[in-house]
Chains A and B, each alone.
Chain A
Amino acid sequence: MLSDTTTIFKRPEALSDNITHYCPGCTHGVIHRLVAESIDELGLRERAVGVAPVGCSVLIYNYFNCDFLEAPHGRAPALATGFKRVRPDMIVFTYQGDGDLASIGMGEIVHAANRGEKFTVIFVNNAIYGMTGGQMAPTTMPGQRTTTSPMGRDVNLAGYPIRMAELLSTLRTPAFIARAAVHTPMHIVSAKKVIKKAFRLQKENKCFSLVEVLSTCPTNWGIAPFAATQWVASDMKPYYPLGIYKDPEREEA
């Protein structure tokens, strides 16, 4: 029985009480919260070190209540490798957008995953470069209009969007790789499960873990926030199927 004063919802300890700079309808805030809740629930905050990317979430360290490193464009997995190798007792995670991870940082993410570095990657895929003003990303959908593909992404010139979860799953090294989305409450609940599992596997020193999260960018997509969530469902989800792509626990079974 709940009394009048029972707390049923509060800010996770791993989040600071700053106001974020994200645009209305952007789901970075939701994803931050899921990461923070996972860290809290696993009791990892006091030994957590985050690695911030370049892009919209560049200021993530202002919103978390744990130690943070700010990386150059795309290099977060290299920084995380360096830190985690010399402090294997710490919990290290990177938080990267699609421009950061799938474009300029493709080399670092592939090799960190392939070495089986025991840190966690939260990969936020919103199919566009947000911070720099809406240019084409490696994850931009075919036909999607951006400031550098004003007629829509031409797959004959730019190729098809890169599916990072699938690509990294082809590596033989054991890892946990999943894709989730946060455009509906139901999906948020599912996303939390895989994010928490990614951190748990690191806590247990098991493997590299990466969760790709389909996210929204109403500002640069040029549509209203609710329409943006619908676009995730109608356009992104079919091309970027949700699910667990690689799981050391399943492989061991």
Chain B
Amino acid sequence: MAKKLMKGNEAIGEAAICAGAKNYFAYPITPQSEVAEYLCWRLPEVGGVFVQAESEVAVGNMLFGAAASGKRVFTTSSSPGISLMQEAISYMAGAHLPVVLINIMRGGPGLGGILPAQSDYFQATKGGGHGDYRVIVLAPSSVQEAVDLMILAFDLADKYRIPVMVIGDGMIGQMMESVEFPGKYREENNPDDYDWALTGAKNRPARITKSLFLDPQKLEDNSFALAEKAKKIKAVEVRYELYKVTEKNRILIAAYGTMARICQTAIDELETEGISVGLFRPITLFPFPEKEIYTEAAKKNIEAVLTIEMSVGQMVEDIERCVLGKKPVAFFGRTGGIVPSPNEVKDKIREILKKKK
């Protein structure tokens, strides 16, 4: 299929249709409102459903109801909106329902701002809502990757019956890049293929979709089942990318999403100055590439790991956790909608190397 120049938010909407997801519930919020503005006319063209809800609380619960049908359902929102959906995310996780949520992150906490940030890392990867559960978290660093990961997100949600969150930042949503969609669009799922979907109690006992277990043993069983699911996901779904990782690297940068691309520019420029830096880019933030980052950081040539984020420091806690004290872990971050420039990244690296001398 020919490449198309598309805004990230619109490409995300088209990618969902491409994945056979035609049921979209949303509430407008900057910087991702273009997804709803795109899908409000695009979905009817393909026989899909779009409901503009009265709030993000309602969106989350519309997804909950719709997901129980066995069809592919999704929403897009931004940080404060995702906070309001956490109630439903916890319930959907507890009820083992597949759903895809896209968080085009903006600065917080609170109303924060409308510019790009990565400060929802904790919320996305460590729970967000109440109870013992995890969601799969995917972090694209380009519009093309956002398209590819959207399609993967629906497959993973289906495979594990779990909420999957794609987290980009305002930059991914707002920038235009050329993208390519798969030539063949998926058909919608057939709810009759699932033994859990609510399709009407005809020729079978009634089915219940719930997260309520008043019997403590049953609730514990469900929590352990969720933990077991997370363990399986950790074993096989880790994804990451290395950029210019060689035996000559003195510093290993850990960064994800848009920030990783800015770091690539910094790495390219430092290379011309004779400073060798590699990049470790997690694509799945949960499951986190725990062993992989350890292996790369532990290599003899690496003097320090530098985590760079558009936050005051969130993923850095996972990096520290995984590097196990093997190497020093440094951090540099800007937030509030300020995106660190390649120059700032380079300065931070020079500072670390200077201290090493």
On A, residues with C-beta under 8 Å from B are 16, 45-49, 51-52, 58, 61, 64-72, 75, 78-87, 90, 107-108, 110-111, 115
Contact of A111 among B54, B60, B87 (CB under 8 A): B54
Checking B57, B88, B209, B211 against A68 with a beta-carbon cut-off of 8 angstroms, the contacting residue is B209
Q: Which of B11-53 contact A (CB under 8 A)?
A: 23, 25, 49, 51, 53
A70 touches B208 (CB 8 A): yes
What mask results when residues 50 to 65 of chain B are scored 1 for a CB within 8 Å of chain A, else 0?
Answer: 0101110111111111
Given A45-B201, A64-B206, A107-B58: A70 and B211 interface contact (C-beta under 8 Å): yes
Looking at chain B's contact residues, is the secondary structure mostly helix, strand, loop, or mixed? mixed
A113 CB to nearest B CB, Å: 11
Q: What is the distance, in angstroms, from B133's C-beta to the closest C-beta of chain A?
A: 14
In contact, A86 and B49 (Cβ under 8 angstroms): yes
Instruction: Number of B interface residues at 8 Å Cβ cutoff, please give it.
Output: 39
- CB contact between A49 and one of B57, B63, B198 (< 8 Å): that residue: B198
CB-based contact A85/B66 at 8 Å: yes
Q: Is the CB of A69 within 8 A of B68?
A: yes
Q: Evaluate contact between B209 and A70: CB separation under 8 angstroms.
A: yes
Determine how close the nearest CB of chain B comes to the CB of A14; give it in whole angstroms: 9
Given the known A-B contacts A79-B62, A85-B66, A86-B23, are A72 and B87 also in contact in the complex, defined by CB atoms under 8 Å? yes
**Contact present for A66 and B201 (CB under 8 Å):** yes
Known: A46-B200, A69-B209. A85 touches B58 (CB 8 A): no
Q: Which residues of B contact A64 (CB under 8 A)?
A: 206
Please list the residues of chain B having a beta carbon within 8 angstroms of any beta carbon in chain A: 23, 25, 49, 51, 53-55, 57-69, 71, 73, 87-88, 91, 95, 191, 198-202, 206-212
3 interchain residue pairs of minimum CB distance: A82-B65, A79-B65, A70-B210
Task: Output the nearest chain B residue to A48 by Cβ-Cβ distance.
Answer: B200
What residues of B have a CB within 8 angstroms of the CB of A51 in the complex? 65
Q: A61-B210, A82-B61 are in contact. List 13 more A-B contacts (CB 8 A).
A: A47-B200, A51-B65, A69-B210, A70-B209, A70-B210, A71-B65, A75-B57, A75-B58, A78-B53, A78-B58, A83-B65, A86-B69, A111-B53
In the docked arrangement, what's the CA distance between A61 and B209, Å?
Answer: 10
Contact partner of A81 (CB less than 8 A), chosen from B51, B199, B206, is B51
A86:B58 contact, CB within 8 angstroms: no
